[in-house]
């Protein structure tokens, strides 16, 4: 197998397989299974969509991993996959994980005490290996070492029951983390599927044949008609059409596509017909590029430790020092081991998750879903917020803003005639005109002759014996030669203020102008103002729309920085440059095209109306609209402030208890009681919800 190493840490490598050896869903499962059979490999994952392979292994087995990857050929794993049954692999759900843990505890209680103790000793071995690996391999005293020491101390005192309980709780946490990750990756994979089963292949003889989409090859010519999804990246070789690329580029309006222009897999052909020469298949399309960007960004994000872990790890050396001093002066293993289990980090590790869980619960009640503690931490530290435009700062639903009659026409007639002409066509601008006429109760029966639609330009017909035209300035003035003074053209353009302009002409005169815009969300400007008051120093807007529209929206919202005409790769590049410059970035977006940027940012935020993939990739989801973004920010800041207060309190009070105990003022029993009571008090305080409401 040909591959490249895209990311590596001790004991962990991520590979990217060569496109020529890309594997199917079933083959990916075989590749992962074959890798996991090799000595030294603890776990392997293969992603068919991104052509990625992630391997966790013993540090001394790196060369064996590389040799195994090289030896795996497509012929080998493909033959095995072909013989596999078609039934999908069933993964355990959350209820099964919890019930499984309970069942194991109950089953273990059936064995005699001696057998249970042997089982506990066997189960402790992985914890000892991890602890020794951190201590010896990486020379770090962290929570893994402390866990191993606490389990070992319990076993040395023959307290196997305590050791077993600790291991069950640690194991349950690992299983829940794995379940969350697996579900997230599966949902991501499902969201990225194009769901195109068949395509129309245009043969060399000009005859069209319907074939399964999986049989497409590079260089094939396919015909895509109105209402269909484009199944592969390609170049137009015939026809013309309007294509809705909002999922890929963020453009609020459909774009005109004709010969020699590119089209993307996953976009929708709204009007017209295209013949497309395929340039990229599954594994190499723009959609797959998005998947790879997400995959790579997530691998970097996974290296960030939560604040609770860092706090606990920083205190571990002091726990060992304290235990050593106690043993040195008392020669009591029991008293020394108590310092390992009743320590600073124990209270921190208990209070911090309670604060996080309580805050997450409070967030849900206030319309904010925060997916984990590290995202609370990241959101509280954000100093830069980046917004996508279409669908995030705007409502992504074109509406008629103004109707301006000219040359003696009435506003009533301009809107009525425009709706009469446009009602036959399903594109978004036409729907906006028809919807506005309906809202105003205007009747627009068909009074025109046969319509001639010019793709991406306009409509030509005859009404009351006069030519009727509606469309773009280029269509009405340049193609159809309707006269319009230059001063009037400049005035119309100046008054557009970022809106799309439709021109209606009757006979040889311009009858009126209709301005259509994607309106701003009512709350957008106030949200930006609140964020600045909450300490966000920089607000940036990124969009695939043209510079004129972007400038108007930015000006209306008071946004000083914007970037226009960006593809997904351009957006993620902007995010990475900001991050590299030291900014802590939150990205707010709603489309497939925003997903890589959501994953690359310190924290990604989406709306409940966003695409499935954007909601899946986002770290925070606003279920009650954009107005909840400042609420999410305040929740995170207050939660982290509470965690810091807990940290200071735990260190201060426990230090006082220890000092009083060493001085002989408190007996060991009273010290333990006070420690436990204080831990309980901190936990109850941590469970008190924080508010996301603004405190005036």
Q: What pairing do the DSSP bridges indicate for beta strands 233-244 and 268-280? A: antiparallel
Mean pLDDT of 613-640: 87
Report the C-alpha gap between 214 and 216 in whole angstroms: 6
- What the block records as the tokens of 454 is 């010019």
Find the range with the poorest average confidence among 55-59, 126-130, 518-522, 542-546.
Answer: 542-546
Report the C-alpha gap between 462 and 281 in whole angstroms: 45
Please say whether the beta carbons of 327 and 336 come within 8 A. Answer: yes
The DSSP call for residue 687 is T
Quote the pLDDT of residue 416. Answer: 92
- What the block records as the tokens of 416 is 């009525």
Mean pLDDT of 591-615: 82
Contacts 24+ apart (CB under 8 A), 334-343: 334/157, 335/668, 336/153, 337/150, 337/153, 337/154, 337/156, 337/157, 338/668, 338/672, 340/146, 340/149, 340/150, 340/153, 341/150, 341/153, 341/154, 341/162, 342/672, 342/675, 342/676, 343/146, 343/315, 343/319
Mean pLDDT of 683-692: 79
- What the block records as the tokens of 40 is 């030294």
Sheet containing strand 368-370, strands side by side: 368-370, 620-622, 603-607, 585-588, 384-388, 538-542, 561-563
Report the C-alpha gap between 188 and 613 in whole angstroms: 6
The Cβ of residue 296 has, within 10 Å, a number of other Cβ atoms equal to 20
pLDDT for 477-535, tens place per residue? Answer: 988 999 999 999 989 988 887 788 999 999 989 999 999 988 888 899 999 999 999 89
Which residues on neighbouring strands pair with residue 528, listed in sequence order? none
Please say whether the beta carbons of 274 and 259 come within 8 A. Answer: no
117 by DSSP, 3-state: which?
Answer: helix
Percent above pLDDT 90 for the chain: 21
Q: Band the pLDDT of 90: cuts 50, 70, 90.
A: low
pLDDT for 339-379, tens place per residue? Answer: 565 556 656 666 777 787 778 778 877 888 887 777 888 89
- Scan for tokens 């459909």, then name that residue: 254
3-state SS track over 136-155: HHCCCCCHHHHHHHHHHHHH
| Closest to 46 measured CA to CA, from 96, 9, 79, 89 | 89
Report the C-alpha gap between 618 and 198 in whole angstroms: 32
Q: Band the pLDDT of 180: cuts 50, 70, 90.
A: very low
Q: Band the pLDDT of 629: cuts 50, 70, 90.
A: very high
Whether residue 640 has pLDDT greater than 60? yes
Percent above pLDDT 70 for the chain: 79
579: left (phi over 0), alpha (psi -120 to 50) or beta: alpha
- Angle between helix axes 62-71 and 25-36 (nearest 10 degrees) is 140
Report the C-alpha gap between 52 and 26 in whole angstroms: 14
Mean pLDDT of 611-615: 74
Quote the pLDDT of residue 449. Answer: 67
Burial class (CB in 10 A: 0-12, 13-18, 19+), 238: middle
- What the block records as the tokens of 177 is 């983390």
Quote the pLDDT of residue 303. Answer: 37
> What does pTM read for this prediction?
0.59
453 by DSSP, 3-state: which?
Answer: strand
How far out from the chain centre does Cα 285 lie?
Answer: 19
Report the C-alpha gap between 96 and 101 in whole angstroms: 9
Residues assigned a catalytic role? 388
Find all residues with CB under 8 Å of 348, minimum gap 6, and list them.
Answer: 308, 311, 312, 315, 646, 647, 650
Report the C-alpha gap between 471 and 467 in whole angstroms: 13
Please say whether the beta carbons of 178 and 155 come within 8 A. Answer: no
Average pLDDT in the chain: 80
Mean pLDDT of 21-38: 81
Quote the pLDDT of residue 297. Answer: 47
Quote the pLDDT of residue 605. Answer: 93
pLDDT for 433-486, tens place per residue? Answer: 999 999 998 876 666 667 888 766 789 998 888 899 999 888 999 889 999 999
Who wins on pLDDT, 286 or 508?
A: 508
Report the C-alpha gap between 289 and 266 in whole angstroms: 12
Report the C-alpha gap between 289 and 146 in whole angstroms: 42
Q: What are phi and psi of 399, to 5 degrees?
A: -135, 150
pLDDT for 295-333, tens place per residue? Answer: 554 444 433 335 555 665 676 777 678 778 877 877 766
Mean pLDDT of 600-612: 84
Sign of the alpha-carbon torsion through 380, 358, 146, 126: negative
Find all residues with CB under 8 Å of 513, minimum gap 6, and list them.
Answer: 403, 404, 406, 492, 501, 502, 503, 504
């Amino acid at each position: 197998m040909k591959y490249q190493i895209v990311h590596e840490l001790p004991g962990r490598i991520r590979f990217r397989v060569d496109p020529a050896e890309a594997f199917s869903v079933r083959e990916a499962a075989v590749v992962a299974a074959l890798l996991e059979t090799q000595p030294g490999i603890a776990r392997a994952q293969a992603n068919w969509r991104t052509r990625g392979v992630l391997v966790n292994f013993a540090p001394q087995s790196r060369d064996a991993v590389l040799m195994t990857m090289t030896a795996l050929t497509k012929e080998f794993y493909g033959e095995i996959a072909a013989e596999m049954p078609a039934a999908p692999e069933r993964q355990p759900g959350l209820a099964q994980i919890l019930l499984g843990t309970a069942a194991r505890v109950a089953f273990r209680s059936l064995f005699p005490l001696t057998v249970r103790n042997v089982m506990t000793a066997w189960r402790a071995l992985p914890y000892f290996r991890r602890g020794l690996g951190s201590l010896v391999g990486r020379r770090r005293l962290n929570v893994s070492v402390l866990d191993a020491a606490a389990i070992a101390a319990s076993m040395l005192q023959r307290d196997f029951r305590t050791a077993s309980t600790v291991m069950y709780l640690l194991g349950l946490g690992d299983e829940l983390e794995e379940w969350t990750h697996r579900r997230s990756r599966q949902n991501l994979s499902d969201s990225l599927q194009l769901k195109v089963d068949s395509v129309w292949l245009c043969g060399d003889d000009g005859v069209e044949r319907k074939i399964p989409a999986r049989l497409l090859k590079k260089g094939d010519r396919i015909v895509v008609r109105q209402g269909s999804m484009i199944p592969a990246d390609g170049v137009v070789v015939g026809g013309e059409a309007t294509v809705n690329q909002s999922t890929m580029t963020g453009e609020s309006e459909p774009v005109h596509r004709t010969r020699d222009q590119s089209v993307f897999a996953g976009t929708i052909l709204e009007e017209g017909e295209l013949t497309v020469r395929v340039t990229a298949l599954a594994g190499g399309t723009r959609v797959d590029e998005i998947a790879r960007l997400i995959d790579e960004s997530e691998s970097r994000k996974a290296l960030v430790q939560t604040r609770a872990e860092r706090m606990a790890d920083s205190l571990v050396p002091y726990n060992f020092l304290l235990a050593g001093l106690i043993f040195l002066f008392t020669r009591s293993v029991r008293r020394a081991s108590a310092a390992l289990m009743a320590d600073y980090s124990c209270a921190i590790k208990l209070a911090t998750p309670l604060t996080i869980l309580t805050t997450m619960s409070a967030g849900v009640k206030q319309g904010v879903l925060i997916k984990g503690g590290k995202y609370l931490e990241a959101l509280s530290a954000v100093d830069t917020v980046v917004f996508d435009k279409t669908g995030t700062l705007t409502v992504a639903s074109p509406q008629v803003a103004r109707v301006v009659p000219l040359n003696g026409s009435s506003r009533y007639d301009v809107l009525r005639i425009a709706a009469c002409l446009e009602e036959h066509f399903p594109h978004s601008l036409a729907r906006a005109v028809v919807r506005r006429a309906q809202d105003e109760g205007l009747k627009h029966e068909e009074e025109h002759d046969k319509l001639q639609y010019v793709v991406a330009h306009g409509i030509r017909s005859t009404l009351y014996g006069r030519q009727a035209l509606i469309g773009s300035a280029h269509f009405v003035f340049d193609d159809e030669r309707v006269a319009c003074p230059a001063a009037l053209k400049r005035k119309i353009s100046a008054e557009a203020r970022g809106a799309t302009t439709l021109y209606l002409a009757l006979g040889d005169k311009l009858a009126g102008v209709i301005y259509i815009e994607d309106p701003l969300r009512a709350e957008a400007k106030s949200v930006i103002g609140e964020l600045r008051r909450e300490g966000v120093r920089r607000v940036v807007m990124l969009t695939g729309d043209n510079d004129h529209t972007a400038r108007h929206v930015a000006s209306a919202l008071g946004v000083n920085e914007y970037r226009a005409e960006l593809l997904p790769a351009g957006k993620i590049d902007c995010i990475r440059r900001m991050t590299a410059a030291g900014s802590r970035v939150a990205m707010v977006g709603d489309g497939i095209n925003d997903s890589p940027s959501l994953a690359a940012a310190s924290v990604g935020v989406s709306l409940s109306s966003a695409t499935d993939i954007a909601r899946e990739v986002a770290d925070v989801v606003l279920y009650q609209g954009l107005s909840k973004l400042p609420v999410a920010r305040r929740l995170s800041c207050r939660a982290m402030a509470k965690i810091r207060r807990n940290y200071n309190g735990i260190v201060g009070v426990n230090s006082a208890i220890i000092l009083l105990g060493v001085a002989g003022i408190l007996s060991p029993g009273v010290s333990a009681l006070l420690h436990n009571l204080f831990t309980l008090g901190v936990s109850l305080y941590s469970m008190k919800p924080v508010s996301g409401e603004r405190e005036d």
